Structure 1
Amino acid sequence: MPFRFVHTADIHLDSPLRSLALRNSELAELIGGSTRQALVAIVDLCLEEQVDALVIAGDLYDGDQTSMKTARFLASQLQRLHEAGIAVYVIRGNHDALSRITQELVLPPSVKIFGARAEVVESAGKGLSVAMHGMSFSKPQAPDGLLPRYKSPVPDAVNIGIMHTSLAGAPGHDVYAPCNVADLHAAGFDYWALGHIHQRTHHQGARTVIMPGMPQGRDINEAGAKTVSLVTIADDRSIAVEERLTSVAQFERVSVHLGGVVEWRDAAAAIEAALLAQRERTASPHLVARLRLTGETALAWKIRRDIDLMQAEAEQRSERIGNTWIEKLEVEVQPPAATRGTTADPVSELRQLMRDDILGRSDFRDEISDMVRDLLADLPPESRNFAGDDQAGFDRFIDGLLARGTEDISARMSAAERDDS
């Protein structure tokens, strides 16, 4: 009979809220509990599919957690698997190495947590002999590759390697246990269950090498539907991998083009239409949308000035759609070119002054850049992508930030001037 298991990683159980935009208390509650719900979905899948094992390739926790509520919740879910005769194989990732719960929690005997030295656990499956290879992080940092420390494949067995690694590196991720994908394919293992990079990837080659991504996104930088791998190894040792949805809330960027729109109600209707279209494409139960308003419209000044009212309009329509939430509005609309002020217009003169005499000053730009760098330093590595992946990208981000600030100020002044006229 085949050997079947679920492969996941980077659950980051009870990860704290990471988006300052989640001011809606109901949305904050939904996202705050989403990693727990994802773990429940994973356990439910294991039970429904009657798999032989669950493999967790690191970062089950989210750092230096001490909450015994988290510990009790995790123990209760693993107990469900234990009672069903499903084994659990866990390696510790860089976040797990920080967690006190990792060291103190007593888990069911069917749970194997690999130590800091490479280990092999052999078991006789339903007709297949299976060897699980694993190795945990003992410290939050792992600058050296771990593959040379793994034991050799067990002859005549299905060999499954579990590793937490940044591979050759990925944007937004620090280097952890670097490894070459080609070396994994050449190592003689049938399946590599990887973890650490939050984007799902199937690394094609002679063997099956899967980075499953995370089962639940936590902010807009972890957008899209999130899944785990359901793996079936047949008697002839052929391997089939299926993606199974686990995310409860799905972050998505939604673009709304308002070019030519002149009425407020039409802008709100365009937002609703864009949300409806994205809702239909969203696989997860909940959609969390970041709206990006673009185009040339006579409403540009009013939208920038009354962004809070437009946010309320969007939230009202998201409630009407159901299971749809607004995380944030990004305003990039512009007034029609024909209606933009001339240099005789005092607001236009102020805009030009800000661009030339203030934003153009190197000391002002350096000060803003330093503020952004300080903010990035306080964020986890995987949440820093928004400011660019290199110096050129960072410079473009700063340019855009300063330009939008100028437009926001002049838009509010122009809108106020028009309302008074």
Structure 2
Amino acid sequence: MTGVIAALVAHHVLDVVGKEIRRLTLAFVTPLGTDDDVRGHGADLPVTTTAAPHPTHRPDVRGATARPLSPRLPGPGGRSDGAGTAIQSRGARCAGAAGRRAGQPRAPGAQPRPTLTREDVVRFRFIHAADLHLDTPFEGLLPAPPVVATTLRDASMRALDALVDVALDRQVDFVILAGDVYDGPERGIRAQVALRRGLERLSREGIACFLVHGNHDPIETGWSALPHWPDGVTLFGADEAGSVTVERGGEILATVHGISFAAREVPENLARRFRPPETPGFHIGVLHCSLTGAGPGPPASPCTMTDLEQVGLDYWALGHAHERRVLRHGDPWIVYPGTTQGRKPEPSEQGAHGALVVEVDDGMVRTPEFVALDSVRLVEVEIAVDGFRDLIDVRQALQAAAADTLRDAGGRCLLMRGTLTGTGPAADELRRDSALVELRQQLRDEAGLEEPFVWWDRVRDATRPNLELESMRGRGDFPAEVLAMASELAADPRRLDTFAGRHLTALRVPGLETALGELPDTTDPLRWQEMVELAISLLATVEQ
């Protein structure tokens, strides 16, 4: 009897140890799975600039079943119309199932969510993308020749094609698009056809797709002029958070919950419409929202980290912020993938943009892998001209910076902006009339327009003249008077604002403001000092 008990105890100990070894092994092989990677918010993700197939082989995962748990279900052709009808596709279906309506209050005496066990989940993979803004032009740029303009116009749709390529190469189980697929109510037929073509490619391979409407493509403006969507597409409604389970071979992979924007402006916190899940397994929330502290931009359904944490989901697939951010590493994961293609010369849209490939194994998320999808990359470089002899040195330095960037861009076109800083002979030469315009044109001419091209949009002179301003203040001449007036204005912000508004108004006319670039911000003390020094330098040049 003692031997039997000892054997049972030994078997139990070995089982516990085995599970712990599996857990530790999984944590060990997770990319960047160190303590530093899960400490704090906003950590950057590893960047992969190719769409190569995943290196590890796994059984064919095509043929997943998406099973809705909510009345806000896809209608005919996959479109969400609340009818609750089934989606049928090759190897994938979406049929009604019993369950509490998402957004409905818990029934009296309802049990809390069951504890997750290893038997409840399996390995699966999905793509999290958002803010495609299909077929929309780049903003804030100077006019470009037709070949460049065409490439820029097509960039957002080429990113969609690349996204589908990655989904097929990696054999993902489903794709999530977290809002702003379109840019506004004026949705061109090109954008609609491109989206339908991409969804059809996914549908043919049995890959489901889950979408929500964002502030740029709310339900009130209509999703599309096209009458039907491919099988396997779920568009979540705006009345309540819908829920759809994804199955493969009879096993539940995950439950996806989502809600859309009904109108362009949604001041309500939509995160509060999600309810804690009542079933075991891996749960994903899809939401387009402005998360407190997630970055600049107009608010849209503002919410907090606490709002999301309290729902009890495992992964929040967010959209709206165009900069890639991981705001929480587990329990739950809270992630913005960023836009698939940068379109504005702003910090949040510069550099690599794309989507995230997320792998879940035994209920644990491996570090999401960023995969670049952009075909045009916005890059700004800063060059210090100290020690440069002339504009030839400046041009060569800018060209070298562009060449280095192009070499690392993976065959993508570059939209470049340059900022020149420092002092010296080259800085003095930059202040010559038309020097910047000539420099920019030389850069464009020598770069050429053959893809992958480098297009120089702007070069900004932020150099500072080598002036002894303090010694000039007591000279009693006109430059000294300018310095005195500038000091008085800097000490009185209201007076400075009035002065700047009066004299900059003449520049705010159609065409001229675009040609000049961004007008200076006089509220920035450093920028104001730069403007004063430039004015004194110009006066000194005139006197000479």
TM bin (shorter chain) = 0.7 to 0.9
CA contact (8 A) 2:237 2:259 kept: yes
2:454 to 324, 329, 335: 324
* SS of 1:160 mapped into structure 2: strand
- How many residue pairs match? The answer is 402
CA contact (8 A) 1:359 1:365 kept: no
Q: Percent identity at matched positions?
A: 26
Q: Does 1:108 align with 2:108?
A: no
1:239 to 361, 365, 381: 365
> Where does residue 207 of structure 1 map in the other structure?
332
> Where does residue 308 of structure 1 map in the other structure?
437
Paired with 1:147 and 1:372, the residues of 2 have a C-alpha distance of 43
Deviation of 1:359 (Å): 8.0
1:75 to 196, 218, 221: 196
State which drifts further: 241-250 or 270-279.
Answer: 270-279
State which drifts further: 272-281 or 154-163.
Answer: 272-281
> Where does residue 333 of structure 1 map in the other structure?
463
Deviation of 1:212 (Å): 0.8
Deviation of 1:350 (Å): 7.4
> Where does residue 85 of structure 2 map in the other structure?
none
Could you say if the C-alpha distance between residues 5 and 211 of structure 1 is closer, same or farther in structure 2, counting changes exceeding 3 Å? same
Could you say if the C-alpha distance between residues 402 and 395 of structure 1 is closer, same or farther in structure 2, counting changes exceeding 3 Å? closer
- Given the two structures, how large is their TM-score scaled by the length of structure 1? 0.83
Instruction: Kindly provide the amino acid, as one letter, of the partner of residue 147 in structure 1.
Output: A
Deviation of 1:352 (Å): 3.5
Paired with 1:372 and 1:154, the residues of 2 have a C-alpha distance of 60
Q: Which has the larger radius of gyration?
A: 2
Could you say if the C-alpha distance between residues 165 and 370 of structure 1 is closer, same or farther in structure 2, counting changes exceeding 3 Å? farther
Instruction: Kindly provide the amino acid, as one letter, of the partner of residue 134 in structure 1.
Output: G
Instruction: Return 5+ residue gaps in structure 2 as ranges.
Output: 1-121, 509-517
Q: Does 1:123 align with 2:246?
A: yes
Paired with 1:92 and 1:169, the residues of 2 have a C-alpha distance of 22
Deviation of 1:59 (Å): 0.8
> Where does residue 355 of structure 1 map in the other structure?
486
Paired with 1:338 and 1:401, the residues of 2 have a C-alpha distance of 18
Q: CA RMSD in A?
A: 3.5
CA contact (8 A) 2:465 2:537 kept: no
1:65 to 186, 189, 193: 186
Deviation of 1:186 (Å): 3.8
Instruction: Return 5+ residue gaps in structure 1 as ranges.
Output: 377-385, 389-393
Deviation of 1:17 (Å): 2.8
Q: Does 1:366 align with 2:487?
A: no
Paired with 1:284 and 1:239, the residues of 2 have a C-alpha distance of 31
> Where does residue 44 of structure 1 map in the other structure?
165
Give the helix-richer structure, 1 or 2.
1
CA contact (8 A) 1:66 1:100 kept: no
Deviation of 1:81 (Å): 1.2
- Given the two structures, how large is their TM-score scaled by the length of structure 2? 0.65
State which drifts further: 62-71 or 181-190.
Answer: 181-190
Write out the 4+ residue segments of structure 1 that deviate beyond 6 Å after TM superposition.
338-341, 343-347, 357-361, 370-373
> Where does residue 18 of structure 1 map in the other structure?
139
Could you say if the C-alpha distance between residues 37 and 101 of structure 1 is closer, same or farther in structure 2, counting changes exceeding 3 Å? farther
* SS of 1:299 mapped into structure 2: helix
> Where does residue 291 of structure 1 map in the other structure?
418
> Where does residue 383 of structure 1 map in the other structure?
none
CA contact (8 A) 1:9 1:196 kept: yes
CA contact (8 A) 1:119 1:151 kept: no
| Higher RCO (CA < 8 A, seq sep 6+) | 2
Paired with 1:170 and 1:150, the residues of 2 have a C-alpha distance of 20
Deviation of 1:185 (Å): 3.1
Could you say if the C-alpha distance between residues 370 and 78 of structure 1 is closer, same or farther in structure 2, counting changes exceeding 3 Å? farther
Could you say if the C-alpha distance between residues 358 and 175 of structure 1 is closer, same or farther in structure 2, counting changes exceeding 3 Å? closer
